[in-house]
Amino acid sequence: MGRTLFEKLWDLHAIDDLGGGTGLLLIDRIMLHERTGSVALESLRDAGRSVMAPRQTFVTMDHIVDTLPGRGDRTIMPTGTQFITATRKAALEAGLTLFDIGDPGQGIVHVISPEQAIVLPGVTLVCPDSHTCTQGALGALAWGIGSTEAEHALATSTLRVRKPKTMRITVNGRLGTGVTAKDLALHLLGRFGAAGAVGHMLEYAGEAVRALDVEGRLTLCNMATELSAFSAIIAPDETVFAYLNGRAFAPKGADWDAAVASWAALHSDADAVFDVDHIVDAADVAPMVTWGNSPQHAVPLGETVPAYDPAGGRDTQATHERALAYMGLTAGQALEDLPIDAAFIGSCTNSRLSDLRRAAAILEGRKVAGHVKAICVPGSTRVKAEAEAEGLDRIFRDAGFEWREAGCSMCFFAGGESFGLRQRVITSTNRNFESRQGPETRSHLASPETVAASAIAGAIADPRKLSPIA
């Protein structure tokens, strides 16, 4: 019997079988950020241990840093400065690669790792962050861990891992005009639910997935954690190899040629058997938006808020009604043309250069509605610089968006900057949990294009229906 890509990577990194379905795996890369990295590094130091592989460990400032122009170590978030300074001190003492505030390599951990080729096909990569699955888009076995696991990985370059089951989602055909990887991710959540991949390593396959560029694949894999997957992966191909070639930490010269030759073998065998196999038709995917307080509450833009469906098996009637009450909506209500208070483009889901280009194409020559607070936060300092070199920042500013420094920003509210009480926000982020973006803020997840179109309309809008510019 053939093996899946996941099983091949597991076998390549397995040090020992610990029994009971648990293995000890070699960890090739460790990524840390200041929200959780300082905890692991300080605990390791206090225990008198050192980082086993400092050259393979990377630290960035992304979660807690302010994104306002002219930022420094001071933060709106209480104790945020302490996290930043503690992480900086611990990283420098341990001899780790640090992308500090002001460094051209700084940015959201899951944005800077691919753009600098820290993550590569075939490696194992861990980070104390649930969206580490993003990086599986390049053919890596990458997953999120806790701070205690991070300490163990730092000290030993190994981790005990309970082997998950396998799942494949094959997306046949091509996505339609105006339909994005974010829409596909939300479509899958609406179809399979927030527990749809629990306990499984998820592989995305099929023509529609292969047709995505690397940044689209990163968006798709990013939201696998919203399906409760252990992680996600896409087999690397020429699209990935071209993307990685020449980047900062990519192999060079003869090492590059040898790496590509080995990466070409990283795919599931034709006769590999998955524990669960799903088939999805790309023609069924439309621009999506969420209506409730879970990413699984996703529907096509033109549909209405659904009534409770006891056959759905995902929400109880009580949780469905709670979601409606929290969002201030009623079953049967139209989502399109629902007034919004704010619009946000950013996060590890949709803050890369291609995301900003597509949003800017919609914003160019148009203005954000006067009552809408609109913010764009590039995913990395490099993305910001490249966008500014293309003049995208001027398009965002001229339209009425704030243009920020790189970071996670208002993807999540941790006591710092936020949208206001019960503000309705259209957002390119990955989670619409209660108070995720502010106190009782009502977040609607969507693609950057839908966020841009909605900011202009002052209400949730389908970007395909925008009137031509006069």
Q: What percent of the chain has pLDDT over 70?
A: 99
Note the pLDDT of residue 45.
93
Which amino acid, residue 99? Answer: F
Q: Give the residue range(s) of CATH 3.30.499.10 domains in the chain.
A: 5-164+237-263, 290-465
Using CA atoms, how far residue 48 sits from 41, 154, 155, in Å, is 11, 13, 10
In tens, the pLDDT along 71-92 reads: 999 888 888 999 999 999 999 9
Record the pTM: 0.97
Q: What is the mean pLDDT of residues 430-441?
A: 94
Cβ neighbour number for residue 172 with a 10 Å cutoff? 14
Secondary-structure class of domain 166-232+268-284 per CATH: alpha beta
Q: What percent of the chain has pLDDT over 90?
A: 93
- The answer to whether residue 382 scores a pLDDT higher than 90 is yes
- The answer to whether residue 360 scores a pLDDT higher than 90 is yes
pLDDT band at 367 (very low <50, low <70, confident <90, very high): very high
> Is the Cβ–Cβ distance between 385 and 403 less than 8 Å?
no
Q: How far apart are CA 410 and CA 302, in angstroms?
A: 27
Mean pLDDT, rounded, of the chain: 96
Note the pLDDT of residue 468.
80
In tens, the pLDDT along 129-161 reads: 999 999 999 999 999 999 999 999 999 999 999
- The answer to whether residue 470 scores a pLDDT higher than 80 is no
In tens, the pLDDT along 110-130 reads: 999 999 999 999 999 999 999
Q: Give the residue range(s) of CATH 3.40.1060.10 domains in the chain.
A: 166-232+268-284
Q: What is the mean pLDDT of residues 206-223?
A: 98
- The answer to whether residue 415 scores a pLDDT higher than 80 is no
Q: Which residue has the tokens 């992304």?
A: 62
Q: What is the mean pLDDT of residues 287-313?
A: 95
Secondary-structure class of domain 290-465 per CATH: alpha beta
In tens, the pLDDT along 4-30 reads: 999 999 999 999 999 999 999 999 999
Note the pLDDT of residue 307.
96
Cβ neighbour number for residue 331 with a 10 Å cutoff? 13
Using CA atoms, how far residue 421 sits from 211, 413, 418, in Å, is 41, 12, 9
pLDDT band at 278 (very low <50, low <70, confident <90, very high): very high
Secondary-structure class of domain 5-164+237-263 per CATH: alpha beta
pLDDT band at 416 (very low <50, low <70, confident <90, very high): confident
In tens, the pLDDT along 185-204 reads: 999 999 999 999 999 999 99
Given the DSSP bridges, would you call strands 288-290 and 298-300 parallel, antiparallel or unpaired? antiparallel
Query: For 462-466, which contacts have Cβ atoms below 8 Å and span 24 or more sequence positions?
Result: 462/287, 462/301, 462/302, 462/336, 463/178, 463/287, 463/362, 464/177, 464/178, 464/287, 466/362, 466/366
pLDDT band at 311 (very low <50, low <70, confident <90, very high): confident
